[in-house]
């Protein structure tokens, strides 16, 4: 068994005190895994990522990073624990250049900042070629790749990705999923919230189905993809 990087036990959280969207969610991501979270709108998928990142308060339950309790730790401290995060919207600064976006991602680095940004650009030739251009000139898929690149400058061990294919063309979706797989192949674990459920489960090691803030089903990606209950209740809708 691989070591668990992230373990969530009974997480309850929401945006209004006393009104939880998450009603006790359990989840594990181990080293090297791609784990997908699917479910209908309002199930709490994005809320779970925000709770892990310290963007909203966890009112019950605990979560652990590499076996240590990090519940309700501030966001910058979560990042320092080796967790990266790419939100669904507003995940780049369009008025800044590609290079400046990466510099913001590297704010916590000191002496290694310049060399890390240089290495990141080398890993993403498309960004390197256009590093002096403003991010607002990029297509939707290119912006998503910039957001992924920026999340990597702190050398995370786990990336939380919120709807990376939302609003993209089929070609851009292929590019983004290919990039995610390449990141995983380099040893970064992935926790992926995705409305494109069939695509997500097809390349995930494991998956979780959330419904009304609770675990509904879980299993290997291929098992969930072919589970008649999941297909009838969720994949057909999504």
157-185 pLDDT tens trace = 999 999 999 889 999 999 999 999 999 99
Question: With 90 as the cut, is the pLDDT of residue 114 above it?
Answer: no
Give the Cα separation of 32 and 189 in Å (integer). Answer: 5
Q: State the pairing for strand pair 158-162/206-211.
A: unpaired
What is the pLDDT at residue 238? 47
How many beta carbons lie within 10 A of that of residue 186, not counting itself?
A: 9
The model's pLDDT over 68-86, given as tens digits with 9 standing for 90+, comes to 999 999 999 999 999 999 9
Query: DSSP label at 180?
Result: H
What is the extent of the structural domain holding 90?
4-235
3-state secondary structure of 9: strand
Dump the DSSP string for 112-132: THHHHHHHHHHH-HHHHHTTT
pLDDT class of 8 with cuts at 50, 70, 90? very high
> 136 is written with which tokens?
């607002």
**More confident: 235 or 122:** 122
Total number of domains constituting the chain: 1
- The answer to whether the beta carbons of residues 31 and 3 sit under 8 Å apart is yes
Beta bridge partners of 214: 211
pLDDT class of 67 with cuts at 50, 70, 90? very high
What is the pLDDT at residue 231? 87
How many beta carbons lie within 10 A of that of residue 219, not counting itself?
A: 15
Give the Cα separation of 35 and 134 in Å (integer). Answer: 33
Identify the CATH number of the domain in which residue 39 sits.
Answer: 3.40.50.300
> 25 is written with which tokens?
């969610």
What is the pLDDT at residue 1? 57
Q: How far is CA 59 from CA 11, 51, 147, 158, in A?
A: 8, 10, 30, 23
Give the Cα separation of 212 and 205 in Å (integer). Answer: 24
3-state secondary structure of 140: helix
Give the Cα separation of 108 and 80 in Å (integer). Answer: 8
């Amino acid at each position: 068994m691989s070591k668990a990087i992230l373990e969530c036990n009974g997480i309850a959280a929401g945006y209004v005190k006393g009104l939880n969207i998450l009603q006790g969610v359990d989840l594990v991501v181990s080293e090297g895994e791609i784990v997908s979270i699917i479910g209908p709108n309002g199930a709490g998928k994005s809320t779970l990522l925000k709770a892990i990142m310290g963007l909203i308060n966890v009112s019950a339950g605990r979560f652990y990073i590499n076996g240590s309790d990090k519940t309700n730790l501030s966001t910058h401290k979560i990042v320092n624990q080796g967790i990266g995060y790419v939100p669904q919207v507003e995940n780049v600064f369009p008025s800044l250049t590609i290079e400046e976006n990466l510099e913001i991602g590297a704010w916590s680095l000191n002496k290694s900042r310049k060399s890390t940004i240089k290495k990141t650009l080398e890993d993403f030739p498309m960004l390197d070629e256009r590093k002096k251009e403003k991010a607002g000139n990029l297509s939707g898929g290119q912006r998503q790749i910039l957001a992924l690149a920026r999340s990597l400058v702190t050398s995370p061990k786990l990336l939380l990705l919120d709807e990376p294919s939302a609003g993209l063309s089929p070609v851009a979706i292929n590019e983004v999923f290919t990039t995610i797989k390449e990141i995983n192949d380099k040893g970064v674990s992935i926790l992926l919230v995705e409305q494109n459920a069939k695509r997500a489960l097809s390349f995930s090691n494991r998956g979780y189905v959330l419904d009304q803030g609770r675990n509904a089903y879980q299993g290997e990606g291929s098992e969930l993809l072919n589970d008649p209950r999941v297909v009838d209740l969720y994949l057909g809708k999504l």
